[in-house]
Amino acid sequence: MTALDRTKPSWMTGEVADLFELACDFFEKEAVPNLERWNEQRFVDREFWERAGELGLLLTSIPEEYGGGGGSFLHFAAVAEAIGRTGDRSWGNNVHSGIVAHYLLAHGTREQKRRWLPQLASGRRVAAIGMTEPSAGSDLKAIRTTALREGDEYVVSGQKTFITNGQTADLIVLAVKTDPAAGAHGVSLLVVETDAVSGFRRGRTLNKIGQHGADTSELFFDEVRVPAENLLGAEGGGFGIMMGELRQERLIIGITAICAMELAVRETVDYVNEREAFGAPLITMQNTRFVLAEAATQARVARVFLDDCIRRHMAGELSAAEAAMCKWWLTDQQNDVIDKLLQLYGGYGYMTEYAIARLFTDARAQKIYGGANEVQKELIARTLDRTARGGSRAAGGASTGGSAGSAAARSATGGPSAGGARPADRSQG
């Protein structure tokens, strides 16, 4: 791969731009040379996390008093842009810094924040979010993992799947049923420190069609005793907590989508200018030129849309429906652009030694985790439905549906990653 594209979007100025340059320097030296090895071993080395922590690339949007960088979402986005431009989908920092850290910041007690956030900021601990289960993806309220109170402990029993950072995480925000009969109102969040409990075990690293370096795993909890003080927020409040960060989670997925699109265009432009067929460079052929023109236009429009969503998010103006638009449309465009560009490579586009092939397989999960794209469209449609039935749903529907969709997402972010590849969850959980 050629040197990273360091073109800066409109929102990337001042110290945010400086952080982006620092991150690009680091990823060029420390990530790009290791991408193939990470794909083969199916996880990112802990040393990489710790070096990123030393440089201040973790938890950039968390206050300094808790070990973070003291910045805003723009600082996190700058790091996400930098790693995204390498084409890497191995490093689970979107879940670690973009999701879990903000759950702890927004809903943790002061003691919990002081205890866990500095460890995440340094890379000494890696975070995951455990939502998705074999029988519960987008429908988060259907989870079966239970946490029953016994004195000053919860006894946790159940199974999670599609968990991003699952093999390496030692701090997991776990969605559980503290009241199995209460539906969504019985969902709570517990923080599990994996090195401090017994009965916890990791299953296999899941064999995905893409994002091979992202450690996406099954997790098992066999009567694991977790201190009651590790409850995050109120008992029964987990469902609402998970809905609270949906806009930002979906923006994060949008960032990965646009970075992949732009990289695909850049790589393909290089290829068709160098590759010859029928005695002339591919770029001289009309079909090639038309396909490139379409892809470049789609990527440009997508970038403008994403940047506007980020601007509105920073101003507190981004609606749930607009965040859903960002997630479904950008990932849909990502898949379309990369698919049409791969065709220009012919058989070489199917070879994993070419970046376009990896971008192609990595892209597919983007339409699934973070809330399946079909869920996003339903959330948007609720705001457009003026019938009596739609009117009652539109008022709070975007958030309610979003929470279910977010479960499907947590790679990330559980799923195969934003939970991280989470089909309902991977980014993420």
Q: What is the pLDDT of residues 357-397, one digit of tens each?
A: 999 999 999 999 988 999 999 999 999 999 866 444 433 33
Residue 17 confidence (pLDDT) above 70: yes
pLDDT tens-digit map of 99-145: 999 999 999 999 999 999 999 999 999 999 999 999 877 677 789 99
Higher pLDDT pick, 425 / 211: 211
Contact in structure between 298 and 304 (CB atoms under 8 Å): no
**Rounded distance, CA 136 to CA 419, Å?**
13
Can you tell me the mean pLDDT for 257-272? 98
The Cα 16–Cα 126 span in angstroms is 24
pLDDT at 426: 37
Residue 401 has pLDDT above 80, yes or no: no
The values of phi and psi at residue 136, to 5°, are: -145, 110
Q: Which residue has the tokens 């806009």?
A: 247
3-state secondary structure 383-410: CCCCCHHHHHHHHHHHHHHHHHHHHHHE
Over residues 133-178, the pLDDT tens digits come to 998 776 777 899 999 999 999 999 999 999 999 999 999 999 999 9
How far is it, in rounded angstroms, from Cα 185 to Cα 195? 29
User: Does 39 or 246 have the greater pLDDT score?
Assistant: 39
pLDDT digits (tens, 9 = 90+) for 20-79: 999 999 999 999 999 999 999 999 999 999 999 999 999 999 999 999 999 999 999 999
What's the distance, CA 88 to chain centroid?
A: 12
pLDDT value, residue 217:
96
- Residues with a known catalytic role: 249
Name the percent of the chain lying above pLDDT 70.
90
What's the mean pLDDT when you consider all of the chain?
A: 90
pLDDT at 245: 82
| pLDDT of 275 strictly over 60 | yes
Say yes or no to pLDDT of 399 above 80.
Answer: no
Residue 419 has pLDDT above 80, yes or no: no
Joined together, the tokens standing for residue 103 give: 């759950």
Cβ atoms of residues 61 and 75 within 8 Å = yes
* Residue 132 main-chain phi, psi, to 5 deg: -65, 140
How many whole angstroms separate alpha carbon 142 and alpha carbon 403?
12
Of 312, 329, 326, give the one whose Cα is nearest residue 251: 326
Average pLDDT over residues 189-211: 95
Q: Greatest CA span in the chain, whole angstroms?
A: 78
Six-digit token string for 301: 């429009």
Counting residues of the chain whose pLDDT is more than 90, the rounded percentage is: 84
Q: Which residue has the tokens 């890696």?
A: 126
> What pLDDT shows up at residue 428?
53
What are the structural domains of the chain? 14-122 (1.10.540.10), 129-236 (2.40.110.10), 242-409 (1.20.140.10)
Determine the 3-state secondary structure of 314 from DSSP.
Answer: helix
- Over the Cα atoms of the chain, what is R_g? 21
Nearest to 241 by CA among 99, 42, 113, 356: 99
Q: Within a 10 A sphere around the Cβ of 351, how many other Cβ atoms?
A: 11
